[in-house]
Amino acid sequence: MHGIDRGRVERSFHRGAGQYDQHTPVQQRVVQRLLDRLSAELPNSPQRVLDIGCGTGHLLQRLAQQYPQAGLTGLDLASNMLQQAAERLGTRAELLQGDAERLPAKDNSFDLVVSTSTFQWLEQCATCFGEVRRVLEPGGLFCFALFGDGTLRELHRSWREALQRNNRPVQQGGDGTHRFHTVDQVRQSLEQQGFVAVEVITQQELVWYPDLPQLLQAIKRIGAGTTRPQRGGGLGWRRVLHDMATVYRERYGTDLGVPASYQVIYGVGRS
């Protein structure tokens, strides 16, 4: 995965904040599964919790219910996401705008750090994981979920075939769509940063849409525009997009509509 434009990611999620919760069925499932894992990992309530990429505050709201005595902090790159979170949480959590790779917190500030559906937007996980370990107190828990390299595989394959049909070059190392981290990359990043008791597992999720345009619109509305094929200009690129849609429908369409696959990587580690 190369050359992620962090400014573009920030602008995209800033624009999508108002409609984010309406178009994130997988993300909602992931939040519940992460909370279930926390219940198993933490017999006692944490005292100080950081949610990286808190978005509209859904996970923080659930954490407030699960751990009513915990102090909560949310961090996000997009100011509109934080505004949505503030409306949801009021004064229950401290909300900070900042970068996951440069956490605005002192060493040993938290005993629990969580994150869902965020780290796939980082070019590499190691820098952020190092920051997480820095802000965790000794023995603190890091529990997270991100989308892995099996995510939107139908879109990747259809776009690649459409490029080939039109004699368009496939970019070196990929097909021009967003590249996701692998399980091995995530595990290695945790271990390289000194986490112990590391566990990394995957789970597949599937969402159905009535047609491809609605699938692509849902991706756009949640701010995740960088997962979409790169755009070009002119009739030639319109032909590629048309062929991509045709391939997608022919290969994956059913009476239920068209599917979108998500590979969710869940990870835990102790500092």
pLDDT tops 80 at residue 237: no
- Averaged pLDDT score across all residues of the chain: 85
pTM: 0.83
Whether pLDDT at 3 is above 50: no
**Which of the four pLDDT bands, split at 50, 70 and 90, describes residue 220?**
confident
For 190, half-sphere exposure in the C-beta direction (CA atoms, 13 angstrom radius) is: 25
Q: Tens digits of per-residue pLDDT, 144-162?
A: 999 999 999 999 899 889 9
Between residues 52 and 170, which one has the greater pLDDT? 52
The residue ranking higher by pLDDT, 87 or 43, is: 87
Alpha-carbon span 44 to 155, nearest angstrom: 43
C-alpha of 180 from chain center: 10
| % of the chain residues with pLDDT over 90 | 64
pLDDT of 176 > 90? The answer is no
Q: Which residue has the tokens 């000194």?
A: 194
Q: Where are the domains of the chain?
A: 6-152+179-208+260-270
**pLDDT value at position 231?**
52
Class at the top of the CATH hierarchy for domain 6-152+179-208+260-270 = alpha beta
